[in-house]
Structure 1
């Protein structure tokens, strides 16, 4: 992980009518960093994500990705990042391989079969599932397919929305290992979540969001995961 800023919020606020959804957020995410924005329902996590994806406009301040203001360069930012929603939108009547091939063609990206197979191996999707229809996939398998697609697009920035929601413990561990590997290879990963344990296991830094305001920050020390109990206490408002 380096200190070069890839994602940043500068005095970022979002208001809808008289209601303030995000209130003067300031943070930076470095190259190769796994950054987790942790908050409960209604904290403003989804609004933050939508603002960085160019789906909502700031009322004040700036959301920037790779040095570009998202509001001023929405198309360029959207073409340069990968987004993994909580419910992955893929075609159930197509296989994992066919979904990847189709979405790569839509993005104008050409990849060989060998490259696609290598990406599917990297995300640990069972080979006997590659050509099965997604209607037979678990949520974890769908996520692996979507991440394989992100890898093939060579996206330098990944935005993840509640990525471990609905996954069993083994799938969560696999997912966290994959996220760590992507970061080690230079990807910058921004995730919003309410999963304290998962965030502590994989994130280099966790920032707490409550009622649209940043209320705390935790940082990993070397290879030691962030202290789950400390984050949980702060998250629950007991500190």
Structure 2
């Protein structure tokens, strides 16, 4: 579903991504890990079309980014903090953003999709200014369901969440994968990666320095790999 081949990104004459290669299948969760400045967010922003690649190829569901096609209709993006209008209710925010995505949903469908994304029905008609980060994420997830996104991109989704909210988020991401989404998650959170990821890539200084299936490593080995590549140059 997501195919990145020999992707190079240069900014201010400096190479920030070095021939990155990633393959993420439908129904799979890929955790892209590494310290600050490793290239995780740059990768996501390039997929979103915010950064122009210097060379290489990106495909989502067979559509090439370099052909000038917009891939955003295929993508749902959940940033570190999902921004909602605080004086609109959860359901009003959901319907507004669906309209922007050219998706029409009835009130009944809106309630169902918010519930499917894990937002308790008693919060649907509350103003979003009263929502926790985890609740805002669920509205974002519901929008992804409504637009039938093929791909979900997540940037540090568990930052600032308490343990219970992080565990709840992990359940929702596994549910999204079970619906057939390919999910790329940039994260520092080893526990969350352990909970949801099928595959892990570790980046440093714009290089993908290690890649492995989560089932092949234990929790201690995952931590060791992360610390090893966070502390040494590729």
Question: Which residue number in structure 2 is paired with residue 215 of structure 1?
Answer: 209
Question: Which residue number in structure 2 is paired with residue 161 of structure 1?
Answer: 155
Structure 1 runs (4+) deviating above 3 angstroms are none
Q: In the TM superposition, what is the alpha-carbon distance from 1:226 to its structure 2 partner?
A: 5.0
Q: In the TM superposition, what is the alpha-carbon distance from 1:74 to its structure 2 partner?
A: 4.4
TM-score (norm 1): 0.91
Alpha-carbon distance change, 142 to 40 in structure 1, aligned in 2, over 3 angstroms: same
Question: Which residue number in structure 2 is paired with residue 227 of structure 1?
Answer: 218
Computed over aligned residues only, the root mean square deviation of the Cα atoms, in angstroms, reads 1.6
Instruction: Give the match's secondary structure for 1:71.
Output: helix
Instruction: Report if the CA contact (8 A) 2:61-2:150 is conserved.
Output: no
Q: How does 1:92-107 map to 2 (within 5 A)?
A: 92-107=86-101
Equivalent pairs counted in the alignment come to 230
Question: Which residue number in structure 2 is paired with residue 25 of structure 1?
Answer: 20
Unaligned runs of 5+ in 2: none
Q: What's the CA shift string for 1:143-165, capped at 9, x where partnerless?
A: 11111111111111111111111
Select the residue among 74, 82, 99 that pairs with 2:76: 82
Question: Which residue number in structure 1 is paired with residue 227 of structure 2?
Answer: 236
Question: Which residue number in structure 2 is paired with residue 51 of structure 1?
Answer: 46
Question: Which residue number in structure 2 is paired with residue 3 of structure 1?
Answer: none
Instruction: Give the match's secondary structure for 2:109.
Output: helix
Distance (Å, rounded) in 1 between the aligned partners of 2:48 and 2:88: 27
Q: Are 2:88 and 1:62 equivalent residues in the alignment?
A: no
Q: In the TM superposition, what is the alpha-carbon distance from 1:73 to its structure 2 partner?
A: 3.4
Q: What's the CA shift string for 1:150-208, capped at 9, x where partnerless?
A: 11111111111111111111111111111111111211111111111111110000000
Question: Which residue number in structure 2 is paired with residue 176 of structure 1?
Answer: 170
Distance (Å, rounded) in 1 between the aligned partners of 2:118 and 2:3: 32
Distance (Å, rounded) in 1 between the aligned partners of 2:135 and 2:21: 35
Question: Which residue number in structure 2 is paired with residue 134 of structure 1?
Answer: 128
Distance (Å, rounded) in 2 between the aligned partners of 1:25 and 1:103: 32
Q: What's the CA shift string for 1:73-92, capped at 9, x where partnerless?
A: 342x1112111111112211
Question: Which residue number in structure 2 is paired with residue 199 of structure 1?
Answer: 193
Instruction: Report if the CA contact (8 A) 1:57-1:71 is conserved.
Output: no
Distance (Å, rounded) in 2 between the aligned partners of 1:159 and 1:226: 24
Q: In the TM superposition, what is the alpha-carbon distance from 1:123 to its structure 2 partner?
A: 2.1
Question: Which residue number in structure 1 is paired with residue 32 of structure 2?
Answer: 37
Q: What's the CA shift string for 1:82-124, capped at 9, x where partnerless?
A: 1111111221111110001111112221112222111121222
